């Protein structure tokens, strides 16, 4: 019984978390909706899979910001496919009881702490790989759960 109470308390704290602006030029975290490449909501269908993240609009070359005080937990590689090398970077982060990843971002550093609103990286050139897509930062929770409730 004691474990159940502790788990519920953690869920309640995390549910109150709201992401601050992720991208300069998009202070309200507008989401990618539908374009010629698909849709950006969690659960959207892809060719052979389901989209396990949420896409927040961010222009190529824009500054990516810390959505709240975070710890940087290392760089990540987004794709195994080297044809997408131009956008094949991201970063692992944690903060506010959450563990999450940002894709298509070249991080300025990959360890340490960053305060809410501070610069953490640069949006990579999505248009070079996916011409006509709505350029975006992809947010994926470490456990692949739906990040939508935090926006």
The ranges assigned to domains in the chain are 2-150
Residue 28: partners with Cβ closer than 8 Å, 6 or more residues away: 21
Report pLDDT digits (tens) over 69-112.
Answer: 999 999 999 998 888 999 999 999 999 999 999 999 999 999 99
Distances (CA, A) of 144 to 35, 68, 98, 127: 23, 20, 12, 26
- Binning pLDDT at 50, 70 and 90, where does residue 16 land? confident
Assigned CATH class of 2-150: mainly beta
Report pLDDT digits (tens) over 27-59.
Answer: 999 999 999 999 999 999 988 889 999 999 999
């Amino acid at each position: 019984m004691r474990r159940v109470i502790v788990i519920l308390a953690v869920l309640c704290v995390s549910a109150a978390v709201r992401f601050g602006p992720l991208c300069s030029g998009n202070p309200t975290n507008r989401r990618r909706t539908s374009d010629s490449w698909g849709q950006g909501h969690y659960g959207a269908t892809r060719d052979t899979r389901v989209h396990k993240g949420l896409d927040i609009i961010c222009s190529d070359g824009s500054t990516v910001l810390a959505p709240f005080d975070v710890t940087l937990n290392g760089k990540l590689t987004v794709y195994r496919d080297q044809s997408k090398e131009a956008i094949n970077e991201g970063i692992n982060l944690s903060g506010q009881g959450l563990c999450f990843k940002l894709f298509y971002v070249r991080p300025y550093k990959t360890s340490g702490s960053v305060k809410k609103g501070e610069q953490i990286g640069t949006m990579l050139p999505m248009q070079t790989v996916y011409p006509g897509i709505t350029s975006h930062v992809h947010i994926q929770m470490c456990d692949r759960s739906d990040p939508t409730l935090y926006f």
